Structure 1
Amino acid sequence: MDKLYQCFGSTLDPNPNARKAAELELRKLETQPGMLPSAFSLLSSQETSPEVRQAAAIYVKNRIRRAWDPDFIVGSSQNLIPAEDHDAIRQSLLPTLLGSPNQQIRVHVAAALGAVVRCDFPSKWPTLVDEIKELLGDGSGGDSNRIAAGLTALLEVVRGYRWKDEDNIMDPVANATFPTLLTISNNLLASPSSSAPEVGQLLYLVTKIFKTSITQQLVDYHQADQNIVPWGQLLLAIVQKEIDPSQLPADEDARQTSPWWKAKKWAYFSLNKLFSRFGNPTQLPSNLAKYKPFAQRFVTTFAPEILKVYLGQTEAKVQGRLWMSDRAIHLVLAFFTECIKPNSTWVLLKPNVLPLVQSFAFPLLCRTQTDDEVWDLDPTDFLRQQMDPFDDFGSPRSSAANFVQTVAKKRTKTAFLPILEFVTSVLNAYPASRTAAEKEGALYTVKTLDDVMLTHPMVKTNLESFMVQHVIPELSGQDRFLKFRAAEVIARLSSDMEWKNGASLESAFQGIMTCLGDSELPVRVQAAQAVTHLLDHDEVKDAMRPNAPRLMQELLNLSDEVELDVLTEPKTRVMDAFPQELLPFSTKLCEQLAQSYLRLVGAGIEAAKAIEEAGEVGREMNLSTLEEQGEEDKMFAAMSCLTTIWQVIDTAESHAETLNQLEKIVVPIVTYTIREKVYEMFDDCFELTDLLTYSQKRVTDGMWEVFRLMYEAMKSEESQDYLSEMLPTLDNIISYGKEAFEANADLRNMVLDIYNTVMSGGDDFQASERIAACKLADVLLLVLKSGLDDAIPGFVGSMLPLVGRKKEKSLRQWSNIVIADCLCYNAQLTLSALESMQATTTYFQNLLQISSKLNKVHEKKVVAVALLSVLSLDQSAMPASIGQAGGAQSLLVGLIQDLEGIPKAIERMKEFNEDLFEDEDEVEGEASGGIDLDAGDEDVVDEDNEYLELLAKEAARLRSRAAKGADDGDDVEEDEDAEDEDDEDADGFESPLATVPVFDGFRKVLSSSAFVQSLAQSLSPKDQELLQAVSQIQDEDLSKSSKEPPSVPAF
C-alpha cells in the first residue's frame, strides 16, 4: 500500500522523469491481483492526502475505462484488469462515490462507475438499482450527500443505455427509480431552502437524468399519462422557479453555470426535446411513428402550456423582471422556432410573433459592450464568433436570428412584411431616435432575411434603393460595426440582386474597396467577402481584372493575419473569376501559401507535442485534441491553403512549365506532411499530388520521392488507414511511370508490399481500405505488361477466400475483378494458379454469377477482356474444366452477355455525369429562399421533413442489414457498399481499359478460333441471336475516355 501511495504521489511530481518512473511502476503493478482494489482503498481513506486522492481517482477512472471489458481494450499496451478483482471493485464503487470529498473526485469515480455499468449491468451486477434506491431513500428527506451519490450513480446507469437499449433495460430502471426522483424533487421545491445552491445541484442531477433518459427513445414509463403529467409539471415548476437573488452569484458569468441555472437548463431542454422529437405528430419521421398517440396528446395538452410559460418568461425578461441565462434564452427561442411549422402551435404563436421579434429577438441581434471588448482585445476571435456558425451555435444571438429567419421563410405571408417594416422603421429612425447599435442590429436582421428579400416580389425590386439609402453610406462612415455589417449585407445580397443603376453598383464597389484598406481587421475581412460577391457582376469583374493579382495578394495577407478559414471561399471565387490573370503569379502565390501552410501546421505540431508532454494523448494531429490548445483554427486555415493551391494547379493544368514550378513548391509540403504524420492533412495533400501527376502525365523525381514516402507511411501502423486517400496518386504514378515499374523490381515490390500489408491484415482493415488495395492491384495488373509473373499466384491466393463471400458485396465483387485482372495480364499463368488451388470451376462460377450485376464500364470491360483472353487460348492449353465444351460454352455465353451490357453501362455513365453537371448548375443558379406567399396556417412540410425521413429510412436499412448479418452469423460492415456504389462514375476515375477495343477483339477471336466457332454454333437460338447483335457493335461508336491507354491486349 505504501508503494502504491508513493507512486500516486510521484505522478504529480513536477520533474517529468519522476512522473515517468511512477507511471512505469504503476504499469508493472497493474498485473497483480488486488492492485486496483488497493487503489480504491487509498481513494476512500480520509487519511490520504487530497493530492494523492485526486491522482488515484484519475488513475482508477482511466484504468477501468481502458481495461475493464475484455472485448474492448483501449490501447495495445493495456493490461486487462484481473477478473478476480471485479467483484471487489463493484462493491467499492458506490461507497467510494458516496465518500468522495469533492466534485473533482466524484466526477472521476462516476466515470469509472459508468464504464462498469456499460459492461456489467444488469447481467453481472443485478443488485445495482436496489443499491441506488437505498442511497436515494424514500424521497421524503434524508442525507443530501447520499441522495447526490444515488442520483450520480443513476445518471451513469441511464447514460449507459441512452443510445442503445435493445434489451429494454431503461423501462424497468425508470419504473423503479423515477417515482422517487419526483418525490425528492417536489419536496426540494417545497422546502424553505429551495433557492439554496445545494437544492439546485440535486435538481440539476434529476433533470439531467430525465434529459438523458429521453435521448433516443421514450420507454413505456415516459409515455404513460400518470407519469408524463407529473414530470411535465415538475419541469415547468423548475423553469418558473424564482430564485432568491442572494443565493446566486453576483458575477453574471458565474451565474450562467450556477447549480440552479444548470437545473433550469436541463428542464428547458427536456421540455423542448419531448416536443421536438416525440410530441409533434405532423413532424414525426417514419422511424418514430410509434410515438404518434403520445404526440397527439402532447401537442394538444402539453405544448400549449409550455408555450404559455415560455411567453410569460420572455415578457418578464423584456420588462426587466427576470434574468435568464444565455442557454435558457437559446432554448426558449428554439422552442418558439419548433412551434412555427405545426399548425396546432403556430396558431397560438402567431399573434405573438411581431412582439417577440421587436422586443425579445431584435435586442439580441444588436451589438453589446461585450462585442466591443472582444473586437478590441482579439479581432480574430470576434471574426470567429461572427462568421463561424459552429462557434456561435447555441448563443442567444444565433438562436434569435434562426427564429426570425425561420418564421419569415416558413410563414412568409403572415410574418415577413411586418418584420421588414419594423426593421425599416429602425433604419429610418437612425440617428434621430435609434442608436448605432440598433441600426447594426437592423442590418444583422436584413442579413438574416436575405433569402426571402431576394425572392419576395414586393421587395426584390426595391433592394437597390434600400442599399443606396441604408447600406452603402455606412461603408464610408465612422462606425466600425456599421461598416462591418454593411459589408456583410452587400456580401449576402449583391450578387443575386438586380442593379438597375450602374452608379449604385459602382458606389457599392468603391465603398467595399475602401473598406478593404480599413485600419480595422474585421472590416477588411468582411470587405474581402463582399468584393468577391460583387465580382458576379460583369462591370465589377472588368474593373477588377487588371488588379486581380493585387486582390489575391490582399486575401493572402488577410489569411495570414487572421489564421482562420473564413477566406477560403473568397480566394476560391477570385481564382474562378480570374484564372488567366492570376496564372503569371501562380508560382509566387503558391510559395506564399506553402509558407503559410508550413507555419500553421508547425504550430499545430507544437500544440500536439504539448498535449503529449502533458501525458494526455500520443502526439497526433487530431482536431478534437488540438481544440483544447486553441489551435484547431490554424489547422482549418492550413487546409484552406491547400484548397487554394489545388485551385492554382487546376488553373495551370495545360501550362507545363508552370506545373513544373508548382510541383517544386508542392512536393516539400507534401513530404513534410507525410514525415510529420499530419494525418488530418493527408486527404488534401494527396489531392494535390493526384492533380499534379494527372496534369503532367509523367512522374518526376519529386513525385518518386513522394511515392517512396507513401510506401514508408503504409508500412507504419498509424498510417495504414489512408490507402484510400493515397490511391488516386498511386494510380497515376503507376500509369505514367509504367516503364519505370516494368524495369525496376524494387518499385513493383513496394506496390505489392502495400497490397499484401492490407490484404493479409484481414478484418484489421476496414472494407474501404481492402477495396482500395484491390483497386491498386487492378491498375498494376492492367497497366504493366511484364514483371508480375511471380506475383500472380499471390494475387489469386489472396482473393480466392473472398470471391464467394456472402457479406461485403463490394469486396466480393472486387476480389473477382482482381483475379479477372490477372487473366487480362496472363491468362495461362492465372489458370495454372487456379488449377493448382483447385479453384478454377468455383472461380468462374462466381465470376459469371456476379458479372450480370456489374454495371460500371470498367468492371464490365475487365470481365470482357478476361474472358476473351481465356477463350483466345488454344483449347489444349485450357484446363479440362474449361476445355470441355460445357465449361467453355458457359464462358462464351457470359462473355456475350457482358458485352451486351457495355453500351448500356457507357450510356449510364454519360447520364450520370450529365446529371451531375446539371445538378451543379442548378445549385449555383437557384435562389436558395423558396417561399410560398399563398400558404396559410396549415402544417408546414418541407425539406427538413424530407431529410429526417431520409435519415429514418437509412437507419432502418442499416438495422435490417445488421439483423440479417446477425442471423447469418456474420458481421456486416454497414457503410462500405453505399460508399462504393458509384465511385468510378462520380470521381473522375478513368479505366486503363477505357480505349481497349473489346468488340473488335471479340470479332477477332470469333473469326480466328475454330473452337470458339464450334461453341457459337451450339448455342441456343436466343444466345445466337444475342451473339449476332453483339458482333455488330463498333468500338468507335462508343464513348472513349481521354486517359492514355496501355498497349492493347492481343487476343
Structure 2
Amino acid sequence: MSDLNKLADIFRGTIDPNERESAEKQLEMIYKIIGFTPSILRLVMADGVEMSIRQAAVIYLKNNVIAYWSDKSNGPGLDNDFNIHEADRQIIRDSIIDAIVMAPELISVHLAVCVSHIIKADFPGRWLGLVDKICIYLRHPDTKCWMGALLALYQLVKIYEYKTGDDRAPLDEAMNLLLPLIYQRCGQLLGDHSDLSICLQKQVLKIFHAFTQYSFPLKLISNEIFAQWMELFRVILERPKFRNFEQEREESNWWKCKKWVLHILSRVFERYGSPGAVSKEYNGFANFYIKTFSGCVIGLLLKILEQQGNKHYVDSRVLQLTLVYLSTAVNHAVTWKLIKPHTMLIVQNILFPLMCYTDEDDELWTTDPHEYIRMKFDVFEDYVSPVTAAQNLLHMFSLKRKEMLQKILAFVFQILNDSNSDARMIDGALHIVGSVADILLKKEMYKDQIEELLVTYVFPYFSNQHGYLRARACWVLNYFSGTRFQRDSNLASVVRSVEMCLMHDKELPVKVQAAICIQGILTSQDKAQKLMEPNITPISFEILNLLRETGNEDLTSAMQKLVCLYPEQMMPIAFEITQHLEQTFYQILDSSADEDNEDKAMTAMGLLTTIDTICTVMEDQKEIMAQLQPVVVRLVVKIYQEELMELYEEALTLVCTATTNSISPDLWKIYELMYQVFKKDAFEYFGDMMPALHNFITVDPQTFVNNRNHVLAMYDMCKTVLNNDAEEEAESYAAKLLECMILQFKGQIDECIRPFVELVLTRLTREVKNTSLQQICLQVIIAAFYYNPILLLNILNDMQPIDSNQSLFTHFINRWLSDIECFKGLHDRKICVLGLITLISLPPEKRVAIINEASPQLMPSILKLFDGLKLAYQSKANAENADEEDSEEELDEDSDVEALEDEEDHVAAADYHSRILGKINSPACPFPVTSSYLRDDEDISEDDEDEYSDDEEADFVQTALESYTTPLDADDTDVDEYVIFREVLEMLQKKDPNWYNVLMSPLKQEQQEALQSVFILASQRKAAAESRKIEKLGGYMFHTQTVPSSFNFGGTPIV
C-alpha cells in the first residue's frame, strides 16, 4: 500500500454518499494486508492531501487501532482472527508521537485516542521509547512542538490515573523525568500571553491534575517542589486579563487555566491537605499545606469573590470551584479564621444572588420550560453549578460554625418580612431556608418552630402569581417534609396545596416540583397517606402524563412511591399504568435516537424500574401478572433486539421479577433470547443475568429440565464464563448455577454430571484468587457426589491423568477434608455434611482406599460442620427479626448537631474519639477516660464469655451465593441433615458395626458429647417437622365422637 494516491482516492470515496459503499468494500478487502495500517498514518500526515480525506483516514485509523491493536479478542461484531501485525504496530509506535506533534488539531485529537489505546496495551513493555520521545519534543526550543508531546503525556497520565501502588510505578518513573520538565516549560510560558502559550499552560495543568487526583506521590512531589508549583498556580490565578476575553468568556483558555488551577487546589486541599481527614501517609503534607498556603489561597479566592460581588464577569466554573474550596476550608480553624470576617458579606453579596431566580432562569422558563426542568434536575449540572456550590457553602456555614445559622436566618427573615423585597429576592430567601432544612429539623431551638415557619412564610406562595414562587414553595416543603405537624389542619393544607399545584397549575415546572414534593410528603407523613388516598388515581395519571411530557427521571421515583404505598388502589389500574409507562418508554427511545442524551437514558432506566416495582408489588396477583408479563416480554425483546446495552441490567431485573412465581411460554422464549444475547454481546452481564437464570431453573423446574436445550444453554453460558477471562465473581455465579442444577434435578440429569464436573475441575487447574470461587467449584463436585456417588467415582476414574500417581478421587477427598474450615454460611455447610454422610454410607465394596485412610477425619469433620450449622441456623433466625430490632436500635436521626468553635477543626470519624478524649481528659476532668469506654452499646457483648468474636460470627451469616437457593434450602424440605445423619449412624451400627466402630473410635470425650447433642437436636427437628406436616393437613385428627351439649367440670360455676 505504498501508493498514497490510490489510498487517498478510497478515503475520498468514503465521504461521498455515491461511492461510500464501494469504498468501504475496498477497505474491507485490504485492511488485513501487512503495511496497510502504517500507510494510513502516512496518508494522515501528508500535507498535500485534502483535510477532509485526512480526517476520514485518521478516524478509520483510530477505529482500527481500537478494534485490532491488542492480541486478545476484539469484541462482538469484530474479526477475532485478526490483529494488526506486530511489524506494523512497531512502525506506528515509532512514528505516532512525531505525527501527533506535527499534526493540526483536527487530526491530533484522533491520534491522541490512538496513543491512549496503544499505551494501555503496550506500555511499558513494548513501548520503551515513549517517554524518551515525549522528552525530546518537550526539550525542543520550538514551542509548537510542545502541544503534541503534552497531549501524548496526558494520555499516559490518564491511563494510570486510577491506579495505585505498584500498578502506578511505570507512570511515577516516567514523571520523575517529565514532571520537572513540564514545570519548567509552564514557568517559561507565564510571560507569554499568546493563544498558544495559554493553551499549553492549560494542558500542563490538566496533566498535573490527572497525575494527583487520586494519588499524590510524595517521593516525586516534596514540600519544596510543591511550593514551586503553588507559586506557579498563584501567578495564574491572580494575573489580570491582557486582552479582551469578554466575547469568548467561558470558551477562553485564559479562564480555563484558572479553572484547572482551582481544580487542583480543591482536590489537593480536600484529599491530601486537610489535617484530620487524610490517610496517615499524608498527615505531614496536610499540616504543611494548611499552615503554608492557607493565607495566600484564601486571599486569592476572596479576590475572585470580590470581582463577582462587583458585577465583573467571573467564569461560572471558576466561581463554583472557588466556593467548593471554601466549603472545605470551613472545616479547619486555620482557614475558618481567614474566612470568618467576610462570611456575611459572602452570604449577602455572593451566595444570596446566586440563589435567586435570574433573568436566564426566566428566559428559559418562558421559552423552553422542558429545558428549564431538565437543567434544574440534572445531577451532572449540579456537579458544576455555582448555585449548588453556593447552597453547599451555606449549608457548611450553618452546620459547622457557631452563630452562623442564626446570622443567616436573621438575614433571610429580614428579606421575607420586608414589604419592599421583590419576588426574586423572596425566591432566594426561601431557597436558603430550604438549603438548611435538615439542620433546622434537628436543632432543638428550631424544630418546634418549623410548622409556624411553613405556615407563615411558605404556604402563602402556593397561590402566588409568579410560577417560580409556587414551584419554590413546593421545593421548600419537600425539604421540610419530615416536619412534625402538631395541627392536622396544617398537614391537610399541605396536601391540598401540593395537589392543587400538581393537578391544576398551568406551569409545567410547578407541576413537576409538586409531584416531587408529594413523594417527600408521602414518605415522611403517615397521616398524609390517608389524606391523599381518595385522589390517588388522578394523581397517579397526572404524574404519568408529566413523566411522558418531560422525561424527568425523578418522576419515576415518585411513581414508584405511589405504587408501593397504595397497592390495593393500584390493582385495578396496574395494567393501564404499566401500558402508559411502556408507551412512554418507547417515546423516550424514539426521541433519544436523534441525540446522545444521558438524561433520557436515565429516564428510560427509571421507567423500567417503575414497571419492575409494579410487577414486584403485584407478583402474588396471578390475574394482574398475566396481564403484565406480555408488557415485560415486549420491553425486553425491544431492548435486546436493538442492543440497548445500557438498559440490559434493568431488562434482566424485569425478567427476574416476572419469573418469581411462574414462567409463561413467552418468558421461556425470553430465556432463549437471553442465551442468544449472552453469546453475542452480553458476556459481561452474566452477573446481572444470575437472578433470572436461577429463577428459570427453580421456579418451573420440570419445564426447564424437560427441554434439553434449556439445560444445554445454561451449561454453555457457564462454560463460556468459566473458560474465558471473566471476573471471578461471575465465575462463582456460573459454578453456583451448576450446583443448583445438580441439586434441583437429582436423578434426572445423569448425562450432565460429567461435563459439569469436568468444567469445574478444569477451572481449578488455573490460578484462583478468590476463595469463594475455589469453594463453590469444590461444592459442585460435592453436590455431584451427593447426587450419585458411584457416578462421580466412575467419572473421576475416567478422567484420571496418565502421569499422576494419585487418583482424582483421592485428591478430591483430601482437598475436601482439608478445606472443611472454609465452608461458611448455612447451605455450604449443609451440602458438605450431606456429602460426607453419603461418603460414610457407601457400601463396603465401594469404599476405596482413601475413604479408609481418611476415616479418622470423617466424624470430627462432620461434627465441626454441625457445630457451625447450629450457629448458622441461629443467625438465620436472628436475620428474620433484624428489621424490627434495627428499628428499635436506630440512632435518633433528629439528634442535635454540634457546631464547632472557631479554634476547632472538623475531624474524620477515625480521629473523633481522639478529640473527645482530649476534651474529657483535660485538667478539669476528674476521671481519665480511655477509648474502651467509648464503644457503642451494640458493640458490647451481652455475654463476656461468648465463644465467638464478631469476625467469627460473620462465618455463620448467609453468604452471597447462598441467596440462590436449592431444594435443600426450602423451609419445608424433607432433607434434614440432622435426621439423616442420625438415621445413617443407627443403620451403620446395626448393619456394619465394624465400619461404625472405625468411624467412632477417633472421637474424644467432648466430641462424643457433641455427637449426643446432634442426636438430640435431630429428634427435636424430626418431631417439629412432623408437627408442621400435621398442621398443614389441618391439625390433629381425632376419631369422630358424639359431643354432649353441656359439660360438667365439677366445682362451682363462674356465673
- Code of the aligned partner of 2:996: Q
- Code of the aligned partner of 1:1018: S
1:362 aligns with 2:352: yes
Larger CA deviation: 262-271 vs 912-921: 912-921
Change (3 A) 1:41 1:382: same
- Code of the aligned partner of 2:978: F
Shift of 1:1005: 0.8
Shift of 1:682: 3.5
Deviations, residues 521-548 of structure 1 (Å, cap 9, x unaligned): 1111111122233334344322222222
Shift of 1:636: 2.5
Residue ranges of structure 1 left out of the alignment (5+ in a row): 608-628, 947-976, 1045-1051
The one of 364, 368, 371 equivalent to 1:374 is 364
- Is the 2:443–2:896 Cα contact (8 Å) retained in structure 1? no
Shift of 1:561: 1.5
- Is the 2:415–2:421 Cα contact (8 Å) retained in structure 1? yes
Change (3 A) 1:1007 1:982: closer
Change (3 A) 1:338 1:1035: farther
Cα distance in 1 for partners of 2:456, 2:321 equals: 36
- Matched with 2:558 is 570
- Matched with 2:195 is 197
1:57 aligns with 2:43: no
- Code of the aligned partner of 2:980: G
- Matched with 2:813 is 844
- Matched with 1:304 is 295
- Is the 2:543–2:555 Cα contact (8 Å) retained in structure 1? yes
Cα distance in 1 for partners of 2:701, 2:129 equals: 68
- Is the 2:743–2:787 Cα contact (8 Å) retained in structure 1? yes
- Matched with 1:708 is 672
Larger CA deviation: 733-742 vs 762-771: 733-742
1:904 aligns with 2:905: no
1:425 aligns with 2:414: yes
- Is the 1:1016–1:1024 Cα contact (8 Å) retained in structure 2? no
- Matched with 2:305 is 314
- Is the 2:782–2:835 Cα contact (8 Å) retained in structure 1? yes
1:881 aligns with 2:850: yes
Aligned length: 962
- Is the 1:7–1:22 Cα contact (8 Å) retained in structure 2? yes
- Matched with 1:619 is none
The one of 968, 977, 986 equivalent to 1:998 is 977
- Code of the aligned partner of 1:233: E
1:783 aligns with 2:741: no
What secondary structure does 1:324 align onto?
Answer: coil
Cα distance in 2 for partners of 1:218, 1:462 equals: 47
- Is the 2:813–2:850 Cα contact (8 Å) retained in structure 1? no
1:257 aligns with 2:244: no
Shift of 1:634: 3.1
- Is the 1:913–1:986 Cα contact (8 Å) retained in structure 2? no
1:807 aligns with 2:769: yes
- Matched with 1:589 is 577
- Matched with 1:828 is 790
Shift of 1:67: 4.2
Cα distance in 2 for partners of 1:913, 1:1007 equals: 34
- Code of the aligned partner of 2:569: E
Deviations, residues 120-140 of structure 1 (Å, cap 9, x unaligned): 6666666655654554458xx
Deviations, residues 656-689 of structure 1 (Å, cap 9, x unaligned): 3333333344333334434444443343333334
Shift of 1:307: 0.8
Shift of 1:187: 4.6
Cα distance in 2 for partners of 1:499, 1:306 equals: 46
Larger CA deviation: 20-29 vs 1004-1013: 20-29
- Is the 1:223–1:294 Cα contact (8 Å) retained in structure 2? no
The one of 810, 825, 847 equivalent to 1:856 is 825
1:344 aligns with 2:334: yes
Shift of 1:354: 2.2
- Is the 1:990–1:1041 Cα contact (8 Å) retained in structure 2? no
Cα distance in 2 for partners of 1:359, 1:676 equals: 52
- Is the 1:992–1:1043 Cα contact (8 Å) retained in structure 2? no
Larger CA deviation: 42-51 vs 932-941: 932-941
- Is the 2:978–2:1017 Cα contact (8 Å) retained in structure 1? yes
- Matched with 2:388 is 398
Shift of 1:375: 2.1
Cα distance in 1 for partners of 2:55, 2:1027 equals: 66
The one of 302, 317, 320 equivalent to 1:330 is 320
Deviations, residues 153-206 of structure 1 (Å, cap 9, x unaligned): 444454454444747455665565555545544454435xx3x43332232223
- Code of the aligned partner of 1:831: L
What secondary structure does 1:939 align onto?
Answer: coil
Cα distance in 2 for partners of 1:451, 1:1042 equals: 53
- Matched with 1:952 is none
- Matched with 1:505 is 491
- Matched with 1:766 is 727
Deviations, residues 853-897 of structure 1 (Å, cap 9, x unaligned): 222111111112222233333222333432x3x434533332232
Deviations, residues 682-735 of structure 1 (Å, cap 9, x unaligned): 4333333433443x3x43333333333334434x23133334333333333333
- Matched with 2:946 is none
- Matched with 1:621 is none
- Code of the aligned partner of 1:418: K
What secondary structure does 2:448 align onto?
Answer: helix
- Is the 1:136–1:146 Cα contact (8 Å) retained in structure 2? yes
Change (3 A) 1:566 1:335: same
1:1033 aligns with 2:1017: yes
Cα distance in 1 for partners of 2:651, 2:72 equals: 36
1:141-156 alignment, distance < 5 Å: 143-156=142-155
- Matched with 2:447 is 460
- Matched with 1:295 is 286
Shift of 1:337: 1.0
- Code of the aligned partner of 2:56: A
Change (3 A) 1:930 1:126: farther
Shift of 1:1041: 15
1:502-651 alignment, distance < 5 Å: 502-516=488-502, 517-535=504-522, 536-601=524-589, 606=593, 629-651=595-617
Shift of 1:68: 4.4
- Matched with 1:732 is 695
Change (3 A) 1:449 1:774: same
- Code of the aligned partner of 2:868: G
Cα distance in 2 for partners of 1:872, 1:206 equals: 73
- Matched with 2:240 is 242
Q: Normalising by structure 2, what TM-score?
A: 0.84
Shift of 1:900: 2.6
Percent identity over the alignment?
27
Cα distance in 1 for partners of 2:982, 2:792 equals: 24
Shift of 1:489: 0.9
- Matched with 1:217 is 215
- Is the 2:744–2:966 Cα contact (8 Å) retained in structure 1? no
- Code of the aligned partner of 1:999: Y
Q: Normalising by structure 1, what TM-score?
A: 0.84
Change (3 A) 1:910 1:207: same
- Is the 1:817–1:859 Cα contact (8 Å) retained in structure 2? yes
1:123-138 alignment, distance < 5 Å: 131-132=133-134, 135-137=137-139
Residue ranges of structure 2 left out of the alignment (5+ in a row): 800-806, 913-953, 1030-1055
Change (3 A) 1:917 1:807: farther
Please provide the CA RMSD for this pair: 3.4
Change (3 A) 1:675 1:71: closer
Cα distance in 1 for partners of 2:176, 2:716 equals: 58
The one of 455, 478, 482 equivalent to 2:469 is 482
Cα distance in 2 for partners of 1:861, 1:87 equals: 57
1:866 aligns with 2:835: yes
Shift of 1:349: 2.0
- Matched with 2:759 is 798
Change (3 A) 1:991 1:590: farther
1:6 aligns with 2:9: yes
Change (3 A) 1:988 1:795: closer
Shift of 1:355: 1.8
Deviations, residues 65-95 of structure 1 (Å, cap 9, x unaligned): 5544546867752743333345543453344
Shift of 1:905: 0.8
- Is the 1:221–1:227 Cα contact (8 Å) retained in structure 2? no
- Code of the aligned partner of 1:80: N
